[in-house]
Structure 1
Amino acid sequence: MTLTSRWRAGLIVSAAAALLAGGVAVATTAQAAAGCRVTYAVGSQWNGGFTADVGVTNLGDALDGWTLTWTFPGNQTVTQAWNATVTQHGAAATARDVGYNASLGTNSTVSFGFNGSWSGSNTGPASFALNGTTCTGAVAPTTGGPASPTPTATPRPAGNAMEAVAAMQPGWNLGNSFDAVGADETAWGNPRVTEELLDNVRAQGFNSIRIPVTWSNHHGPAPDYPIDPAWLARVQEVVGWALDDGFYVMINIHHDSWQWINTMPTDRANVTARYTALWTQLAAAFRDAPARLTLESVNEPQFTGSSGDAQNAELLNELNTTFHRIVRASGGGNATRLLVLPTLHTSAEQARIDELTATFTALDDPNLIATVHFYGYWPFSVNVAGGTRFDATTQQDLIDQFDRVHNAFVAKGIPVIIGEYGLLGFDRHTGTIQQGEKLKFFEFLGYYARLRKITTMLWDNGQHFGRTSFQWSDPELFAQIRSSWTTRSGTASSDQIYVPRTGAITAKSLTLNLNGTTFQGLNGADYTLNGNTLTLSAETVTRLVGDRAYGVNSTLQARFSTGVPWRIDVITYDPPLLSAATGTTETFAVPTQFRGDQLATMEAKYADGSFAGPHNWTSFKEFDVAFAPDYPGNRIVLKPAFFAEVNEGARVTLTFHFWSGTTVTYHVTRSGTSVTGTLS
């Protein structure tokens, strides 16, 4: 069904609902509809064991209670489950809701997971049935008498904003597509959006999708600023696909924020006119869209050349209230549509929250949503200033920010969406932060967002979920994120155990972070547990490292009562060997034999102890900006950005910190554009 015809159908149903409300009987003869779609994925597998994730999408009428059944094709047994009660008789398995997730609306998805044992082969089930209906991906009427009409998305009455935003959890961003600054949605390297992509994103368990849109290059001149009809039609097409998939959808004015809206302090009249013209057209275009479409006034608002906080607050309030007035005045579904208003810079600082609170108070509209963005404690998020671990400081920063928005808004009945979340280091690649520390961050983020009743939308510019492969680039990361939506996972002080290649092998210990779970065991090794200290004996470690070849020799799985297992790599290493080198400020690298080890961070100091290079307030430089390991190339690259802020002729002492705990000292001297590196 086209977007236009879907909206028209919604209006017809809305009219029928209005007749019913007015006391006019409307006969219905439609039978109840049933249908479902199931995704089954083995997230990890080891000798004799595996972890599986199951997503169940109800395509039929809403369910109050669900049971999923299947038959294992091999010798597989469920040993532990979360977010469902799973029983098994022979090869036949049954999963039932656990109360809090019993309600399964039309096009809603519920996810659960389990650990299992296997032998022979571990082939997935061939079919599933939801409440007795085989899941084919299609919808068919069930037998029986007349049923109530299938619920249709209509504008929600005042007071249901919290409920709607709760239903939007979890969310995903279609980043670097329609927000790309260029000719079209492929300008930043992503392919054209397809229905298949959105279907696959929905199958991952996401209930809402934020579609950022940059309008700067897609409208005409003043005074009318007409939006390019082809661009608007394309956005409407993709919005329609998303709504058809059952998503809640959010669209906005995105990179316009820094392209022209930021000039508002010195060009107020023109910015206001342009902003007004765009939202007037957008409000008209989406006036009759289903209520599951939400509108966001502007992404990450910012101003250049303002006189300070007071003027910034005044200007953002003007934008937000102008947006609110235009959309509400356009009528139709927009009269009660959920509208999303950001803080300045979408920051969770208390002053920024207070400014937005004042706007909400003045507008006095129950169908408003507050939004901020969250990319973590900055030193950890980009790996600078020694921020290599998800430590108490990093965790407290998250707690403080989530508490502030909860106390200001959620506690008062105003829903909050974290419209983007992730780590800033992801802008380069997902390896900027060490894997285990990254997993601990996302585990806690999902948990604390649930605790504070905040809806989250993962920022994905194509680096997480493949736009054509429909596969996660880091399945372990997504497994942790998905698990965090509903439960907690146990973790540990590290996901790495380093063992020297030579010399006596000793016992190794890790501290478990139970996070409210109970420890269930360790697959792949004998162990002892003293309180929260997990210890592998010297004999066990000797067996795990085998011939002690460099790198990962064994992988273990720590299992907990809920959530996903915690992977532990047992690694053989020797201290890395660095060699002398020459090069230029544009192309310089330190030849490095890593010998099983991995680089954590780098310090840079002058002879007098002062800090060298960029971020000269800290000795620890930014990972992948000032330096980066190149493991396949056996080298550590020092970036031009590092040498750009190194004093001419000065000798800089570098200290490379490795995850084994090893440190190696190296020296570089810059002379013009020439660089010399030595060990002494």
Structure 2
Amino acid sequence: MAVAGTIGLVVAAPAAPAAAAPGCKVDYTVPSQWSGGFTANVAVTNLGDRVDGWRLTWTWPSGQQVTQAWNATVTADGSQVTAANAGYNAVIAPNATVSFGLNGSWSGTNTAPASFALNGVTCTGAPGTSTTTTTTTTTSGPPPGDAMAQVAAMQPGWNLGNSLDATGADETSWGNPRITEALLDNVKAQGFKSIRIPVTWGQHQAAAPGYTIEAAYLARVKEVVGWALADGFHVMINIHHDSWQWINTMPADRTNVLNRYNAIWTQLAAAFKDSPAKLVFESVNEPQFTGSSGDAQNAQLLHELNASFRDIVRRSGGGNASRLLVLPTLHTSSDQARLDELASSLTTFDDPNIAATVHYYGYWPFSVNVAGGTHFDATAQKDLTDSFDRVHNTFIARGIPVILGEYGLLGFDRHTGTVQQGEKLKFFELFGHYARTKKITTMLWDNGQHFGRTSFQWSDPELIAQIKSSWTTRSGTASTDQVFSAKASAISAKTITLNLNGTTFSGLRQGSTELTRGTDYTVSGDQLTLSAALLTRLSGSRAYGTNATITAHFSQGVPWRINLITYDVPVLQNATGTTAAFSIPTSFRGDLLATMEAKYDDGSNAGPHNWTSYKEFDRTFAPNYTAGTTTLTADFFAEVNDNRRVTLTFHYWSGAKLTYFVTKSGSAVTGSTS
């Protein structure tokens, strides 16, 4: 469900030094709504003279409440709401737009506000008489040629993944619908300032010597780029999956690869040379080379590609003479050796309008949930901070801007539940904060698994709320978002550790009800203890599963949700099946599966990734809580030896552990609890 409206607004003038002519509009949209909650975006466009300092007020018509906000300070007195500017967006220039967002709660209906007032003046819809004449409705960009300022203005960014980069016949071949103007409009409404449009060209390119790009395909790319520019985005296009389709053969086929690569950029430079400066070119995505002699040759080949790209674009004239160009490291890696190789190239180029790019998908065991990487622990955190420190010190500290062109977790390629929810949120909280601290512009990788291409809804509202919050502030988290109480035992008090992250703890709530400190819970330093009385009251009849949710609130950022869960130790049953279809009947009894170990009787590791006993979540095993099964996949059995018993140890989030035994004989599989 979406709610949208455009409301004309009169802007009250600041008291001094001179009166400002009033006039503006407000665009209020609800791009995401779920049971009991919603996300709203508010954009205020100034149609009069400059406004210095603003307060936007409105009345909720349906009793809604604001639970969190970004890019503005939002306070409420009953149904009356005030949003005040942040320090960095206090000025609204003529014909400029300032935006902020919020998360809220609702019950019954979620009717949009009927009117707004800015600095005390009610909306009229009439523009003011401005002393400044302007014909643009977008904010002014950074000074021409200021690469650092342009990259800063691109924060935050979003990837239009698995569409124009698909390697099939057209942009729908990887399962996404055709790109629409409405999609880009809705992405813009989410607060993103830039959009990366990956493009794979090879299957739309004629043979040598011309390597001509299909006219219809180039026209389609230009159409989508045009829509994005019209929306006010900074837009980045590139050569994408060609990197592993044919560019990677450059060690053995240097001349042909370079000719083909040069032909693409010659055509793109000509096609886009008159585009505005907000269009950015990225030389190649995740460059890689097969069969090279090693690091030195890899570095030389990438330098040659980047140098040729730069020369072609700069010589093509028009806006390309000073257009921002983005150059990757090998594999877009943030390893120091790869950063140093690109830094050496940039020194050679001596071009002020260049940015570096890397990607970040987290510490690999955590990112895919393998090798026991179930938690965003100190090792995973250090991997993130070390990576960003290296990028900052190598480039940004020397005046070279950095675009983190893709980020996420690799487990998202299967689904966003591969990594446990609370651990996932802690990753994105630190990611956004630390990238902001290091002045790195970030672009969320989204191949359709996050923002619905036709529904325009977020698949995980908690995730995007955490990401959006991290753009401007920190949020408090905790050691866990799950509190387990065994049904077989009497309920006792439970303690979790708060990660304050520079915030202060302000209270605990169930919905909109404030829980009582000292009775329902106590806080000692960073230790939050939930009383047995509170857990008893909220657990009700103690049905298996989540009985209630409460939220810890902090002085800033998003609240931290805590699930109160009743469980008993799961029960497994004997089973037979095949390597293509084998499932263990499982009564989960409210518990949740964290990971699985696999070992042979001699203690050696069994199955894929045999350097660790802990197997990869989803790839080798997966719980199905609805069906009551735990599946072992064909990928798992493909690397299990015939007629050797495998001992499986299932680890559950409650702390429970269960042992199970499987034996493969050809394609037949038997499983037992003993």
Instruction: Name the TM-score, length of structure 1 as normaliser.
Output: 0.90
Q: How does 1:591-630 map to 2 (within 5 A)?
A: 591-630=585-624
Distance in 2 separating the partners of 1:449 and 1:78:
27
SS of structure 2 residue aligned to 1:471: coil
Deviations 1:358-377 (A, max 9, x none): 11101111110100000000
Identity, % of aligned positions:
67
Say if 2:330 is the partner of 1:344: yes
Deviations 1:501-532 (A, max 9, x none): 12211111111111111111000242111111
Distance in 2 separating the partners of 1:239 and 1:342:
21
Aligned to 2:399: 413
SS of structure 2 residue aligned to 1:426: helix
Give the drift of 1:113: 3.5
Say if 2:59 is the partner of 1:58: no
CA contact (8 A) 1:155 1:291 kept: no
Distance in 1 separating the partners of 2:149 and 2:51:
17
Aligned to 1:226: 212
Distance in 1 separating the partners of 2:104 and 2:452:
26
Paired letter, 1:37: D
Distance in 2 separating the partners of 1:361 and 1:63:
43
CA contact (8 A) 1:465 1:473 kept: yes
Distance in 1 separating the partners of 2:593 and 2:452:
27
Aligned to 1:5: none
Bigger shift: residues 185-194 or 65-74: 65-74
Aligned to 1:125: 113
CA contact (8 A) 2:365 2:373 kept: yes
Paired letter, 2:388: F
Give the drift of 1:112: 4.2
Say if 2:477 is the partner of 1:491: yes
Deviations 1:555-591 (A, max 9, x none): 1011111111111110111111000011111111111
Aligned to 2:292: 306
Distance in 1 separating the partners of 2:192 and 2:128:
27
Give the drift of 1:35: 3.4
Say if 2:24 is the partner of 1:37: no
Say if 2:159 is the partner of 1:165: no
Closer, same or farther: CA 103–269 of 1 in aligned 2, 3 Å:
farther
Aligned to 2:277: 291
Aligned to 1:10: none
Paired letter, 1:170: P
Select which of 642, 646, 653 maps to 1:652: 646
SS of structure 1 residue aligned to 2:506: strand
SS of structure 2 residue aligned to 1:406: helix
Bigger shift: residues 68-77 or 362-371: 68-77
Closer, same or farther: CA 277–209 of 1 in aligned 2, 3 Å:
same
Aligned to 1:142: 128
Give the drift of 1:127: 3.4
SS of structure 1 residue aligned to 2:622: strand
Closer, same or farther: CA 45–582 of 1 in aligned 2, 3 Å:
closer
Bigger shift: residues 610-619 or 75-84: 75-84
Deviations 1:469-516 (A, max 9, x none): 000011111111111101111111111111111221111111111111
Say if 2:561 is the partner of 1:561: no
CA contact (8 A) 1:589 1:635 kept: yes
Say if 2:489 is the partner of 1:503: yes
Distance in 1 separating the partners of 2:41 and 2:184:
18
CA contact (8 A) 1:390 1:438 kept: yes
CA contact (8 A) 1:512 1:534 kept: yes
SS of structure 1 residue aligned to 2:452: coil
Aligned to 1:69: 57
Closer, same or farther: CA 142–432 of 1 in aligned 2, 3 Å:
same
Distance in 1 separating the partners of 2:31 and 2:181:
22
CA contact (8 A) 2:148 2:401 kept: yes
Paired letter, 1:540: L
Aligned to 1:261: 247
SS of structure 2 residue aligned to 1:358: helix
Say if 2:264 is the partner of 1:278: yes
Select which of 575, 581, 588 maps to 1:581: 575
Distance in 1 separating the partners of 2:504 and 2:265:
52
RMSD: 2.5
Aligned to 1:531: 525
Give the drift of 1:133: 8.3
Give the drift of 1:280: 0.2
Distance in 2 separating the partners of 1:34 and 1:456:
31
SS of structure 1 residue aligned to 2:262: helix
Distance in 2 separating the partners of 1:82 and 1:154:
22
Closer, same or farther: CA 324–107 of 1 in aligned 2, 3 Å:
farther
Closer, same or farther: CA 325–63 of 1 in aligned 2, 3 Å:
farther
SS of structure 2 residue aligned to 1:241: helix
Gaps of 5+ in 2: 1-20
Aligned to 1:25: none
Q: How does 1:194-273 map to 2 (within 5 A)?
A: 194-273=180-259
Paired letter, 2:547: N
CA contact (8 A) 2:30 2:38 kept: no
Aligned to 1:110: 99
Aligned to 1:100: 88
Gaps of 5+ in 1: 1-30
CA contact (8 A) 2:47 2:128 kept: no
Paired letter, 1:612: A
Closer, same or farther: CA 670–243 of 1 in aligned 2, 3 Å:
same
SS of structure 1 residue aligned to 2:591: coil
Closer, same or farther: CA 152–112 of 1 in aligned 2, 3 Å:
closer
Give the drift of 1:539: 1.2
Distance in 1 separating the partners of 2:563 and 2:78:
34
Paired letter, 2:82: T
Aligned residues: 644
SS of structure 2 residue aligned to 1:547: coil
Distance in 1 separating the partners of 2:77 and 2:662:
67
Closer, same or farther: CA 158–555 of 1 in aligned 2, 3 Å:
same
Distance in 2 separating the partners of 1:133 and 1:213:
47
Closer, same or farther: CA 578–282 of 1 in aligned 2, 3 Å:
same
CA contact (8 A) 1:37 1:59 kept: no
Closer, same or farther: CA 289–567 of 1 in aligned 2, 3 Å:
same
CA contact (8 A) 2:145 2:322 kept: no
Say if 2:343 is the partner of 1:357: yes
Aligned to 2:7: none
CA contact (8 A) 2:425 2:466 kept: yes
CA contact (8 A) 1:36 1:130 kept: no
Deviations 1:429-463 (A, max 9, x none): 11100000000000110000000000000000000
Closer, same or farther: CA 365–594 of 1 in aligned 2, 3 Å:
same
Select which of 455, 460, 470 maps to 1:469: 455
Give the drift of 1:677: 0.4
Give the drift of 1:51: 7.9
Give the drift of 1:142: 2.3
